[in-house]
Amino acid sequence: MAAVLPIPAAEAVAAPAGPWRRALRRLVRRRAALLGLAVVLGFIVLAVFAPWVSPQDPIATSWSAIRKAPSAEHWFGTDEIGRDVLSRVIWGTRASLLAGVVSVSISLLIGVPIGMAAGFLGGWVDGVISRITDAFLACPFLILAIALAAFLGPSLTNAMVAIGISAAPIFVRLTRGQVLSMKVEDYVEAARAVGNPPWRIALRHILPNITAPLMVQATLAIAAAVIAEASLSFLGLGQQPPAPSWGSMLNTAKNFMDNAPWMAIWPGVSIFLLVLSFNLLGDGLRDALDPRQR
């Protein structure tokens, strides 16, 4: 064991870089995480440049090209009203990425301030917030999202709100726990001793120190949100036709499995790849940002 000890010391001498730079270096060493990052970036490029990349109009129907198998003209085939599946898959990237990022942003915007209030203020505030969080967590995530989306009405925006609200309690709990453990650290005591007001301690001293676990959780939550959006769209509660989304494409595809199986393959492959990449990236970030968890 003694032989292991000098290594971190040597590393500290050789690399006086900050914790973020060291984390980045650890991340770069993980090939799976880099692969995940590359695929995510690829999807972002597809989403941004969809109008230029997609070979055809994603909502243009063609009665002469109904349920055509993949060919040189339609690489992924066509759907039940003659739309180009490849173009719809490319445009569908927008709905999925948007849903992933927007709903997790909503979760963070709700969850982090509330979690900080609970952890920092303690007492009855913490008690009330924790009980409400328990109540939300008692409803299975997707069932709560379905119920919220049902009452709000079916649309992509409402689906994102529903997913964001349903996932927020996880961030409340995580933030609260992190704040509780940071609150007793010496540097927070020191900040308090020199007369910093509580809000300044919370925002300037505690928040920057809990960003790492929040980032990891957010990345993994995007993966869950992408699946959730696809699920809601599959059930008809997300993106509304004719706008393309991977979930709603699969919903239609299941009615044509006998004679147009290609309709079901590509949207599913896309969801799988995007979710897998966010999961790989999240796992890599966790290892890079929090080496103790390894």
Partner 1 sequence: MFDYLVKRIAQLLPTLVLVSMLIFGLQQLLPGDPAKILAGEEQDPAVVEYLRKKMHLDEPLPVRYAYWVGGVLRGDLGESIRNQQPVLDLVVQKLPVTLQLAAMAMAIALVIGIPAGIVSAVARGSIWDWTANLFALWGISTPNFWLGILLILLFAVNLGWLPASGYVSPFEDLWGNLQAMLMPAFVLGNAIAAVLMRHTRSAMLQVLSADYVRTARAKGLDEKTVVLKHALRNALTPVITLGALELGTLLSGAVLTEQVFTIPGFGKLIVDAVFNRDYAVVQGVVMVTATAYMVLNLLADLAYFAVNPRLRH
Out of 16, 153, 195, 197, which residue is the one contacting partner 1 (CB under 8 A)?
A: 153
Tokens read off for 21: 């730079």
Q: Is 256 near partner 1 (CB under 8 A)?
A: no
First to last CA, the chain: 18
Q: Is 45 near partner 1 (CB under 8 A)?
A: no
Q: Is 275 near partner 1 (CB under 8 A)?
A: yes
What x/- string results for residues 157 through 176 when contact with partner 1 is judged by CB under 8 A? --------------------
Tokens read off for 220: 């993994």
∠ Cα 40 229 207 (to 5°): 65
Phi then psi for residue 189, to 5 deg, are: -55, -45
CB of 147 to partner 1, least distance (A): 5
- Contacts with partner 1 by CB under 8 A: the residue count is 43
Q: Which amino acid is at 26?
A: R
CB of 265 to partner 1, least distance (A): 8
Give dist(CA 132, CA 208) in Å, integer: 26
What x/- string results for residues 95 through 134 when contact with partner 1 is judged by CB under 8 A? ------------------------------------xx-x
Query: Do residues 248 and 239 touch, judged by C-beta distance below 8 A?
Result: yes
CB of 181 to partner 1, least distance (A): 20
Give dist(CA 249, CA 12) in Å, integer: 52
Out of 12, 143, 190, 203, which residue is the one contacting partner 1 (CB under 8 A)?
A: 143
Tokens read off for 265: 């393959």
Q: Estimate the share of the chain in helix, then strand, then coil, as percent rounded to the nearest 5.
A: 75, 0, 20
Q: Distance of CA 112 to CAs 77, 166, 266, 283, Å? A: 45, 14, 36, 21
Give dist(CA 290, CA 282) in Å, integer: 12
Q: Is 195 near partner 1 (CB under 8 A)?
A: no
Q: Is 272 near partner 1 (CB under 8 A)?
A: yes
CB of 81 to partner 1, least distance (A): 19
Q: Is 38 near partner 1 (CB under 8 A)?
A: no
152 vs 191 by CB, closer to partner 1: 152
Cβ contacts of residue 157 below 8 Å, gap of 6+? none
Query: Do residues 121 and 175 touch, judged by C-beta distance below 8 A?
Result: no
Query: Do residues 236 and 251 touch, judged by C-beta distance below 8 A?
Result: yes
Out of 10, 242, 257, 291, which residue is the one contacting partner 1 (CB under 8 A)?
A: 257
Q: Is 230 near partner 1 (CB under 8 A)?
A: yes
Q: Is 136 near partner 1 (CB under 8 A)?
A: yes
170 vs 182 by CB, closer to partner 1: 170
CB of 142 to partner 1, least distance (A): 3
- The residue ranges that bind partner 1 (CB under 8 A) are 131-132, 134-136, 138-144, 146-148, 150-153, 223, 227, 230-231, 234-237, 247, 250, 253-254, 257-258, 261, 264, 267-268, 271-272, 275-276, 279-280
